[in-house]
Amino acid sequence: MIVADKKPIEEIIDYVKDYQSILVLGCNECVTVCEVGGKKEVGLLASALRMHFLQQGGEVNIGERTLERQCDHEYLEEIRDNIDHYEAVVSIACGVGVQFTAEKYQTKPVYPGVNTLFMGANEARGVWSERCQGCGQCILAISGGICPVSRCAKRILNGPCGGSTAGKCEISKDIPCGWQLIIDRLKALGRMDDYEKINPIKNWSTERAGGPRKVIREDLKL
């Protein structure tokens, strides 16, 4: 899922301090699971904003709404009838949701209420870590199901590098060496022969380096 983290409330207040009516818009998908942008967080942020503005002596109308998804036209259409009641929107969906809302409602200022971080997994309660960078050419088949692009700080395809010490990466003693994980996994699978194979240079044009990406599925288009 897409993992996001809270934005300091002071930063959000600074974005919207000049508006008289604000819609706090949540999303029921990834940001709900990582507990930054769901219905409950919409309630918390709206409550905090109300208290802030009341204390400032202003009468600001703060609306609350949580959509099933903010990255689909169908769900974003649900607010078309009442979005005009608000001067601005604070979207606490991921960056995709914020942008899609802004694209759909051209004349409405939309501000981000979270910091979108990465595609990751929920390792434990309250702990999320990166697992995929969306490089566009998945190589998990050759690396025992552990991604050298997202788990190795250098994203090298034939590792580990000289910075790997006691299974940890040189950038932090808390970060496991991605290639150590790959080797351990290949050993467990009895596939160490695969480790001896040299991986060819990766085509990075399918990654972000190739510019904004798009998927067009002719079989699905209407």
Partner 1 sequence: MRLGYPTSIKIIRVPCTGKVDALHIMRSFEKGADGVYLVGCREGDCHFERGNFRAKARVEQIRKILDAVGIGGHRLQMYNLSSSDGPMFARFAEEMHARILEAGPNPIRGAVIKQKKVQTDQNQIAGAAL
E-assigned strands of the chain?
Answer: 2-6, 21-27, 61-67, 88-91, 110-112, 114-124, 127-132, 168-169, 172-176
Task: Please list the residues that pair with 158 across neighbouring strands.
Answer: none
Q: Is 52 in the site for partner 1 (CB under 8 A)?
A: yes
Q: Is 50 in the site for partner 1 (CB under 8 A)?
A: yes
By beta-carbon proximity to partner 1, the closer residue of 57 and 211 is 57
By beta-carbon proximity to partner 1, the closer residue of 125 and 221 is 125
Q: Which of 5, 14, 20, 47 forms a contact with partner 1 (CB under 8 A)?
A: 47
Return the amino acid letter for 40. K
For 152, 158, 159, 189, 193, the CA distances from 197, given in Å and listed in that order, are: 18, 9, 11, 16, 7
Q: Give CA–CA dist 93/91, Å, rounded.
A: 5
Given the rule CB under 8 A, which of 53-61, 71-79, 103-111, 134-142 is the region that contacts partner 1?
A: 53-61
Q: Is 106 in the site for partner 1 (CB under 8 A)?
A: no
**Count residues contacting partner 1 (CB under 8 A)?**
16
By beta-carbon proximity to partner 1, the closer residue of 5 and 72 is 5
Count other Cβ atoms within 10 Å, centred on residue 210.
11
Q: Is 60 in the site for partner 1 (CB under 8 A)?
A: no
By beta-carbon proximity to partner 1, the closer residue of 52 and 151 is 52
Q: Is 10 in the site for partner 1 (CB under 8 A)?
A: yes
By beta-carbon proximity to partner 1, the closer residue of 43 and 63 is 43
Q: Is 44 in the site for partner 1 (CB under 8 A)?
A: yes
Strands 114-124 and 2-6, by their bridges, are antiparallel
Our CA angle for 46, 21, 24, nearest 5°, is: 35
Helices assigned H by DSSP within 56-137: 73-76, 95-104
Interface ranges with partner 1 (CB under 8 A): 8-10, 13, 40, 43-44, 47-52, 54-55, 57
